[in-house]
Amino acid sequence: MYLRVVKIILATFIVSSIISPVFAKEAQNPNSEEVKYSPKNLQDKDAMQAEMDFYAGNDHEAELIFTGLKAKKDHNIALWNNQLGSLYLTQGKPKEAKDVFMESYVLMNDITAFKNLELSSVGLISSEMTKGYKGDPYEKVFNSFYVGMLLYADNDLENALAAFKNGILCDSDVTGKLYKSDVALMYLMATRLELMQKNQSMADDFFKQATEAYYLSHPDNRLLVSQKQGLLDDLDKKQKELLEKEAKANVKLEKVINTLKADIGKLETDIKSVEDKIEENNRKIAINTLKDFINPDNNTLICIETGRGPLKYQIGTYGEKTIFTIKPYPAVGFSITIDNFTQIKAGGFLRYNDVFYQASTRGGRVMDSILKGKAEFKQTTADVSNVLSTMSQVYDPYGVLSIFSFATESVSNATNPYADARHWSLLPAELQIISLRLNPGTHQLQINAYDAAGKAIESSKINVEIMNTSNNVIFKRFRGVES
């Protein structure tokens, strides 16, 4: 009997000595950073605080939250990694940024990753948010860009080229034909890498595509490209309709067929007219910056990331649709003063690497039609439920219809049409890049940001170490932190 009591006491002592240190920290200081931001105390919704901390300049808090969320290794891990990557680049930690972007890169481009979660999100009852985050095409493009740039800076040129080619491939995963592969930056980096590896013909091909992409996404052409895409969609619709009618060919349809042919002729004329205007604009767009960018004699790329990336949020009666908006950032131009002596002004920068434009021209994914179906189902069941409920009050003294109504309402409430609004919100709004030749050694760069009126609105001084190689990369983020 005594032996049993002694055994129990001993066992209790051993167990408590193992468990107590785990809770000790929490008991001593429940508000300590370690406890507050530990994975078990963090929820996905806390990421909003991290986001706001980042844009308020509280990088330390933002890092603690995103690191804690990443440690949970859940279905959002690629999102937390991307957010952390942007944060690390802002803090001037390229090695840490490369590691987390690489982790995301693997998950975002692996079609088998999170497969079970993706299958369950297609069902009527579960939300799209439950699937593993892999990002929209524009997010994949920019993840590939950062991976490519950081590998390039590490002298891993072959893998860097593979990352840029992957980005080009991701950019082709869009609905509108004209918006396919219009990120000039990816082609320019591929050109630069091919030139460094002495592959002149490949470099020429990439440069040709870079020029086309640059013209296509240039602000002077954006409206015209959008018009042309609309006309092409209409033309496609009319041509399909014409084929259907001609297959049925009978006298009654002759008038309809003639009208369709006239419409198609008009659309073709309109498309030609828009193409002529684009061509005229292209002749006026200077491409000197593109040539400077790929010049291998320029050993340094300075990437200025500006503002705040696109915000994606839900709209519609049931939050079944998502739209993008952007917070305007006043800086439009930059100057760089090197060692208090040489000043480089706006003209030399490669501009128009506009994340919002890339995000907003990449809609129409398969998931949108599934979500539309869910919203329609929710509307129908909600309507049936309301009608039955009203009927039951008038005609159903025994409550049979009420039970049925309640059951239908339960299904309606359980149906989950909410669109997935998860997005890489720490991305910048725009990237401006300049390619320069700097002598090896330490340099001080003063970068000034100017608004449209030419007034300096933000300024930053950084010391950089230029290596005796041709692949130095410097990132600097201007995010409009409120003072």
Partner 1 sequence: MKKILFMIFLAFSLTGCVNVNPYILTKGQTSLDLTNNRGVALFTLKVDNSGGGRLFLSSFMAREVNQYKPYNTLGVFSLPLMPENYSAIDNLYFCSVVLGSGIYRLDSFNGMVNPFFAMPPALKIDKIFDIYPNKINYLGRLHFSNLNTQSVFTSLNSIEDTSEQDILKFKEIFPVLKDKQISRDSFY
* Residues making contact with partner 1 (CB under 8 A): 44-49, 51-53, 55-56, 58, 127, 129, 311-314, 318-319, 325-328, 418-419, 421-423, 425, 482-483
Task: Report in angstroms how near the CB of residue 76 gets to partner 1 at its nearest.
Answer: 8
- Taking the C-alpha atoms of residue 122 and residue 117, their distance in angstroms, rounded to an integer, is 9
**Closer CB to partner 1, 468 or 483, in the complex:** 483
**Closer CB to partner 1, 15 or 52, in the complex:** 52
Task: Report in angstroms how near the CB of residue 65 gets to partner 1 at its nearest.
Answer: 11
**Closer CB to partner 1, 463 or 483, in the complex:** 483
- Please give the radius of gyration of the chain, using alpha carbons only, rounded to the nearest integer: 28
Task: Report in angstroms how near the CB of residue 328 gets to partner 1 at its nearest.
Answer: 6
**Closer CB to partner 1, 44 or 156, in the complex:** 44
Task: Report in angstroms how near the CB of residue 105 gets to partner 1 at its nearest.
Answer: 21
**Closer CB to partner 1, 188 or 419, in the complex:** 419
Task: Report in angstroms how near the CB of residue 279 gets to partner 1 at its nearest.
Answer: 35
**Closer CB to partner 1, 55 or 404, in the complex:** 55
Contacts of residue 271, Cβ cutoff 8 Å, sequence gap at least 6:
228, 231, 232, 235
Task: Report in angstroms how near the CB of residue 476 gets to partner 1 at its nearest.
Answer: 22
Task: Report in angstroms how near the CB of residue 367 gets to partner 1 at its nearest.
Answer: 15
Task: Report in angstroms how near the CB of residue 95 gets to partner 1 at its nearest.
Answer: 27
Task: Report in angstroms how near the CB of residue 48 gets to partner 1 at its nearest.
Answer: 5
**Closer CB to partner 1, 44 or 173, in the complex:** 44
- Taking the C-alpha atoms of residue 285 and residue 181, their distance in angstroms, rounded to an integer, is 19
- Taking the C-alpha atoms of residue 352 and residue 307, their distance in angstroms, rounded to an integer, is 13
Q: Which residue in this structure is represented by tokens 């980096």?
A: 189
**Closer CB to partner 1, 176 or 310, in the complex:** 310
**Closer CB to partner 1, 207 or 318, in the complex:** 318
- Taking the C-alpha atoms of residue 275 and residue 146, their distance in angstroms, rounded to an integer, is 34
**Closer CB to partner 1, 230 or 330, in the complex:** 330
3-class SS letters over the chain: CHHHHHHHHHHHHHHHHHHHHHHHHHHHCCCCHHHHCCHHHCCHHHHHHHHHHHHHCCHHHHHHHHHHHHCCCCCCHHHHHHHHHHHHHHCCCHHHHHHHHHHHHHHHCCCCCCHHHHHHHHCCCCCHHHCCCCCCHHHHHHHHHHHHHHHHHCCCHHHHHHHHHHHHHHHCCCCCHHHCCCCHHHHHHHHHHHHHCCCHHHHHHHHHHHHHHHHHHCHHHHHHHHHHHHHHHHHHHHHHHHHHHHHHCCHHHHHHHHHHHHHHHHHHHHHHHHHHHHHHHHHHCCCHHHHHHHCCCCCEEEEEEECCCCEEEEECCCCCEEEEECCCCCCCEEEEEECCCEEECHHHCEEEEEHHHHHHCCCCCHHHHHHHHHHHHHHHHHHHHHHHHHHHHHHCCCCHHHHHHHHHHHHHHHCCCCCCCCCCCCCCCEEEEEEECCCCEEEEEEEEEECCCCCEEEEEEEEEEECCCCCEEEEEEECCCCC
Task: Report in angstroms how near the CB of residue 40 gets to partner 1 at its nearest.
Answer: 17
- Taking the C-alpha atoms of residue 431 and residue 434, their distance in angstroms, rounded to an integer, is 10
**Mutual angle of helices 47-56 and 77-90, in 10-degree steps:** 10
**Closer CB to partner 1, 45 or 248, in the complex:** 45
Task: Report in angstroms how near the CB of residue 85 gets to partner 1 at its nearest.
Answer: 17
**Closer CB to partner 1, 48 or 467, in the complex:** 48
Task: Report in angstroms how near the CB of residue 452 gets to partner 1 at its nearest.
Answer: 14
